[in-house]
Amino acid sequence: MPQALVVLSGGQDSTTCLYWAIARFGKEQVTTLTFDYGQRHRVELDCARRVADFAGVSNTVLPIDTFAALGGNALTESAVAVKQTVDAQTQLPNTFVPGRNLIFLTFAAAFAYPRNIRDLVGGMAQTDYSGYPDCREDTLQALQQALRLGLEFPVTLHTPLMFKSKRETVEMARDLGALEALAYTHTCYNGQRPPCGRCPACVLRAKGFAEAGLADPLLTSTAAG
């Protein structure tokens, strides 16, 4: 039985977290969970599976088909275009899906409970990002407490990237031996492979690699694409 569950989106951050979990708990103790939440870019699910395969851990896809019904965001509604600017009122980009991480981690905990998995790992970070309030340390501390109470189960939420800049996350991936796996990840908000290079996610990813002085394997590896 695995000991740790990594919420794996198939992106750069959760892939780095997977390698963090493997280093900390051992590969045999790690499994991954990916949410099929009706994301516009189905390539994310392929990326998650390929990353898990490459790392040699299992991957379960859990369908949640309610986000699209909530409406109003660019990640699940194909009619809503990704904007480069933030909403004047909320100061959030229109890729924000309200409460997404709260819902994901609650489902992850419910998945972990019957398997007696006590360590959940997620790539949330409050630095250098779009300012999603459900990625912040205080939110996740409160959620951990709610899950412990609500499940009567000693679950721990690990967020190893919480206070890292994009540069530091890239350096961490290098130190953990995760760089090669990053060739299988996606980042682009426009769902393009090779990535568009212009959307906020592509720009942020490129900045992290540039500041770390490393080439992005997604752009250079023959495994990408």
Interaction between residue 204 and Zn ion (CB under 5 A): no
d(CA 155, CA 112): 9
- Find the angle CA(75)-CA(79)-CA(83) to the nearest 5 degrees: 60
Residue by residue, DSSP assigns 136-198 as SHHHHHHHHHHHHHHHTS--EEE-TTTT--HHHHHHHHHHTT-TGGGGG-B--TT--SS--S-
Selected from 110, 196, 223, 224, the binder of Zn ion by CB under 5 A is: 196
**Interface stretch with Zn ion, choices 101-109, 120-128, 194-202, 216-224 (CB under 5 A):** 194-202
Interaction between residue 206 and Zn ion (CB under 5 A): no
- x/- site string to Zn ion, residues 132 to 171, per CB under 5 A? ----------------------------------------
Residue 203 CB, nearest distance to Zn ion (Å)? Answer: 8
Residue 207 CB, nearest distance to Zn ion (Å)? Answer: 13
Structure-derived torsion over alpha carbons of residues 78, 135, 127, 144, reported in degrees to the nearest 10: -160
Selected from 8, 33, 147, 188, the binder of Zn ion by CB under 5 A is: 188
Write down the number of H helices and E strands in the chain: 8, 5
**Interface stretch with Zn ion, choices 12-20, 112-120, 129-137, 200-208 (CB under 5 A):** 200-208
Residues near Zn ion (CB under 5 A) are 188, 190, 195-196, 199, 202
